[in-house]
């Protein structure tokens, strides 16, 4: 039994006090959840994705509860980068945790334009490239579904900033490891695995799709096994850290991702079940590691993944 | 609608009482002194299903007095079934109070329109109005007499209660909004909570009467706190309740999508672009 367990992790050059990020699009800018949770007890918040032009988002309904999860089709509602920089970003300075900007787009040029401006702001500590949104017509997800486009967009954005660049991958592909390799060679510092799984629900009385957008993205415990496998496969293909996500609600869920090869985890839909989940996970991870005499969370990364190379070994860390 | 939201937090609560008011309609009272002290009429809580595996559900706050608050709901899915299974002494947790409720200032003669379990959000405004000596009528509609739950409670609180049922088993036969339209004593403010067709009809009648109306909207929530933009409704872009940035809908008209959970759930009827 040890008591001084180190839960801090490093993603690129971003130091996180805790291994827990809050998923993009699920957590506002953190402020919305501040009445219910101490934000200094989470690793960081990934902000809602922002695009070059303002977007009103998809028609309603945008949410459907489904077994062990939910479908969403928000459609990247956001004020556009100009408004965002002028009115919103300054407020993020007061967050007692890491603040990660999320960039979405419809062309390589869009991504570079938004990423460069966002990364230039001190309030933003790192960037996540959302190349995998399933809820916008055609172009949104095609980046993460095409290895060459992935490589191009990551390379172009990489050239605009030195801040930590996390690339968020889609599970809606045949070879996620191949895409991951492209993102790594193009200069990604880390990978977020996975975004939502495409899905749909139908109202059998109205004979109509339940979502205004017809299709949506599935999240929550329903996708956890899909996400754990994706992390497992990506971890074997790259040496950069992975932020595992998809249905994490407990420390045990988080451990599955860590043992599969994720260096950190992200919680989205779990916050809708109970806003205290992220803090509970940290407490339980601490107890789990302490009970096993493990001094650092970094030591267990990938332990269930035979042949996996722990990214922290390449940085000269223990583990 | 009030500019200031009350301070919300997470509360672990103890079930004090559970009553089945009609088949499938459950009233759950719980010990929550802090919540009760800060709740404004029209606010709601996100209640975490006790099983711990399902998303929290938004429930209007029915009563808030002293140490006790309560919620009332219709059992219509796995989550409400979990709540319906709670008994005295059980525990669950709620985040709240959330959202912007009714604005009651200045009204002298208020008509409250409630449909079905929409009644769950209108007891607090009714009590506040009666307390300030405002003439308060409840126009209450449901499918059957049995589903006009807690009707006498509103009478005891000092409201005049006018009822309508689809089958005519109690009060007027037909829609409650027809009774509202036929009233000879014109209100100066209408408040409404209930199913969407009833709210639309209320907005129409309010327009005909030339009376301002505040509607409490219902929608599936995910976060319930403004974090996910899943619960939006189109609003006039000049509305004081509109969130920061404007946009254009597919038809090219200028609207703003407001979050029902954050900017609402109560909106001025004439500002909705639905
Ligand atoms: C309502 C909602 C909105 C989301 N919006 C975004 C978004 O704007 N950008 C993004 O990269 N991911 C978005 N996501 C995906 C989540 O960040 C997360 O990757 C995914 O839901 C899987 O994790 P979870 O099961 O913990 O939610 C959204 C998810 C939900 C449920
Ligand atoms: S439910 Fe998330 S913004 Fe309203």
Q: Is residue A319 part of a domain?
A: no
8 Å CB contact between A164 and A192: no
Q: Is residue B234 part of a domain?
A: no
| Domain coverage including residue A121 | 9-314
Choosing from B218, B239, B261, the residue where a domain stops is B218
Catalytic residue check, A97: no
Same domain, B50 and B124: no
Helix (H) or strand (E) holding B192: strand B189-193
Same domain, B93 and B114: no
Average pLDDT over residues B53-77: 94
- Chain A positions touching B228 (Cβ under 8 A) are 25-26, 28, 63, 72, 74, 272
Q: Is residue A248 part of a domain?
A: yes
Report the C-alpha gap between A277 and A67 in whole angstroms: 20
Same domain, B161 and B89: no
Q: Is residue B224 part of a domain?
A: no
Average pLDDT over residues A306-319: 62
Same domain, B131 and B195: yes
Average pLDDT over residues A64-77: 95
Choosing from B98, B123, B149, the residue where a domain stops is B98
- Note the ipTM here: 0.93
Same domain, B79 and B123: no
| Residue A144, pLDDT score | 84
- Among the partner-chain residues A35, A70, A276, the one whose CB lies closest to the CB of B222 is A70
Q: Is residue B64 part of a domain?
A: yes
Choosing from B202, B218, B234, the residue where a domain stops is B218
> Residues A158-198: pLDDT tens digits?
999 999 999 999 999 999 999 999 999 999 999 999 999 99
| Residue A137, pLDDT score | 58
Q: Could you tell me if B8 lies within 8 Å of chain A, comparing CB atoms?
A: yes
Q: Is residue A1 part of a domain?
A: no
CATH of the domain at B113: 3.40.50.80
* CB-CB under 8 Å, B48 with A273: yes
Cα of A57 from ligand 2 centre, angstroms: 14
- What is the number of other CB atoms lying within 10 angstroms of the CB of residue B256? 24
CATH of the domain at B70: 2.40.30.10
Q: Is residue A3 part of a domain?
A: no
Q: Is residue B274 part of a domain?
A: no
Same domain, B134 and B202: yes
Which residues make Cβ contacts (< 8 Å) with residue B269, sequence separation at least 6? B190, B202, B203, B206, B207, B212, B213, B214, B215
Report the C-alpha gap between B261 and A43 in whole angstroms: 26
> Residues A215-258: pLDDT tens digits?
999 999 999 999 999 999 999 999 999 999 999 999 999 999 99
Q: What is the pTM of this model?
A: 0.94
> Residues B166-219: pLDDT tens digits?
999 999 999 999 999 999 999 999 999 999 999 999 999 999 999 999 999 999
- Chain A positions touching B222 (Cβ under 8 A) are 26, 63, 70, 72, 269, 272
- Among the partner-chain residues B55, B77, B95, the one whose CB lies closest to the CB of A36 is B95
Cα of A190 from ligand 1 centre, angstroms: 17
Q: Is B179 helix (H, G, I), strand (E, B) or coil?
A: helix
Chain A residues contacting B, CB < 8 Å? 25-28, 32-33, 35-37, 48, 54-57, 59-65, 68, 70, 72, 74, 77, 79-80, 83, 87-88, 220-221, 249, 269, 271-276
Q: How many domains, in total, are found in chain A?
A: 1
Give how far B39 is from chain A: nearest CA, Å: 15
- Among the partner-chain residues B9, B220, B223, the one whose CB lies closest to the CB of A271 is B223
Joined together, the tokens standing for residue B214 give 């505040």
Per-residue confidence band for A298, with pLDDT thresholds at 50, 70 and 90: very high
Per-residue confidence band for A3, with pLDDT thresholds at 50, 70 and 90: confident
Q: What is the mean pLDDT of chain B?
A: 93
Average pLDDT over residues B245-254: 68
Average pLDDT over residues A60-73: 95
Helix (H) or strand (E) holding B237: none
Average pLDDT over residues A84-103: 96
Q: Is residue B271 part of a domain?
A: no
Same domain, B18 and B43: yes
The residues with which B213 forms a beta bridge, in sequence order, are B190
| Residue B148, pLDDT score | 96
Closest by CA to A214, choosing from A131, A132, A134, A268, is A134
Q: Is residue B103 part of a domain?
A: no
| Domain coverage including residue B126 | 109-218
Q: Is residue B84 part of a domain?
A: yes
8 Å CB contact between A92 and A129: no
Same domain, B89 and B113: no
Q: Is residue B92 part of a domain?
A: yes
Cα of A251 from ligand 1 centre, angstroms: 19
Q: Is pLDDT at B5 greater than 60 in this prediction?
A: no
Per-residue confidence band for A132, with pLDDT thresholds at 50, 70 and 90: confident
Measuring from each residue's beta carbon to the nearest atom of ligand 2, which residues come in under 6 Å? Answer: B 221-224, 226-231, 259, 261-262
CATH of the domain at A209: 3.20.20.70
Q: Is A174 helix (H, G, I), strand (E, B) or coil?
A: coil
Which residues make Cβ contacts (< 8 Å) with residue B253, sequence separation at least 6? B273
| Sheet (strand B266-268) strand order | B172-173, B160-165, B135-142, B109-115, B189-193, B213-216, B266-268
| Residue B149, pLDDT score | 96
């Amino acid at each position: 039994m040890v008591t001084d367990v180190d839960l801090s992790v490093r993603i690129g050059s971003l130091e996180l006090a805790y291994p827990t990020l809050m998923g993009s699009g699920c957590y506002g800018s953190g402020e919305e959840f501040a009445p219910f949770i101490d934000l200094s007890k989470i690793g960081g918040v990934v902000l809602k994705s922002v695009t070059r032009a303002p977007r009103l988002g998809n028609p309603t309904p945008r949410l459907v509860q489904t077994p062990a999860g939910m479908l969403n089709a928000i459609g990247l509602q956001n004020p556009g980068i100009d408004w965002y920089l002028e009115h919103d970003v300054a407020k993020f300075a007061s967050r007692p945790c890491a603040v990660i900007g999320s960039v979405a787009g419809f062309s390589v040029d869009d991504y570079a334009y938004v990423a460069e401006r966002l990364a230039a702001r001190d309030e933003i500590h790192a960037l996540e490239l959302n190349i995998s949104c399933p809820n916008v017509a055609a172009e949104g997800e095609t980046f993460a579904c095409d290895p060459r486009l992935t490589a191009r967009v990551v390379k172009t954005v990489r050239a605009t900033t030195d801040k930590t660049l996390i690339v968020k991958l889609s599970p809606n592909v045949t070879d996620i490891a191949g895409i991951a390799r492209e993102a790594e060679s193009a200069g990604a510092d880390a990978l977020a695995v996975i975004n939502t799984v495409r899905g749909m629900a139908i109202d059998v009385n109205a004979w109509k799709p339940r979502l205004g957008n017809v299709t949506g993205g599935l999240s929550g415990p329903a996708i956890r096994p899909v996400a754990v496998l994706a992390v497992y496969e990506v971890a074997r293909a790259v040496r950069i850290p992975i932020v595992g996500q998809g249905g994490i609600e407990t420390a045990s869920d988080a451990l599955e991702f860590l043992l599969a090869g994720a260096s950190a985890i992200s919680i989205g839909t779990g916050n809708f079940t109970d806003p205290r989940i992220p803090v509970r996970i940290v407490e339980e991870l601490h107890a789990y590691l302490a009970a096993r005499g493990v001094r650092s969370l970094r030591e267990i990364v990938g332990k269930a993944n035979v042949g996996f190379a722990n990214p922290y070994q390449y940085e000269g860390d223990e583990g | 609608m009030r500019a200031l939201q009350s301070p919300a937090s997470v509360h672990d609560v103890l079930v004090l009482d559970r009553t089945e008011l009609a088949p499938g309609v459950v009233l759950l009272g719980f010990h929550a002194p802090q919540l009760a002290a800060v709740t404004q009429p029209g606010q709601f809580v996100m209640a975490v299903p006790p099983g711990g595996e399902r998303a929290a559900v938004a429930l209007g706050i029915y009563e808030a007095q002293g140490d006790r608050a309560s919620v009332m709901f219709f059992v219509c899915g796995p989550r409400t079934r979990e709540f319906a299974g709670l008994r005295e002494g059980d525990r669950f947790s709620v985040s709240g109070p959330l959202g912007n409720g009714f604005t009651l200032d200045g009204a002298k003669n208020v008509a409250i329109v409630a449909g079905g379990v929409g009644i769950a959000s209108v007891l607090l405004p009714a009590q506040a109005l009666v307390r300030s000596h405002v003439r308060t009528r409840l126009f209450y509609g449901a499918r059957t007499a049995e589903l006009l739950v807690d009707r006498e409670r509103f009478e005891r609180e000092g409201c005049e209660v006018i009822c309508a049922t689809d089958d005519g088993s109690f009060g007027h036969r037909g829609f409650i909004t027809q009774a509202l339209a036929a009233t000879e004593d014109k209100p100066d403010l209408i408040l409404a909570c209930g199913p969407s067709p009833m709210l639309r009809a209320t907005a129409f009648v309010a327009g005909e009467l030339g009376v301002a109306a505040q509607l409490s909207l219902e929608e599936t929530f995910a976060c319930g706190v403004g974090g996910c933009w899943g619960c939006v409704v189109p609003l006039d872009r000049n509305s004081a309740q509109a969130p920061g940035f404007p946009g254009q809908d597919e038809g090219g008209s200028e609207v703003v999508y407001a979050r029902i959970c954050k900017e609402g759930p109560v909106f001025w009827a004439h500002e909705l672009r639905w």
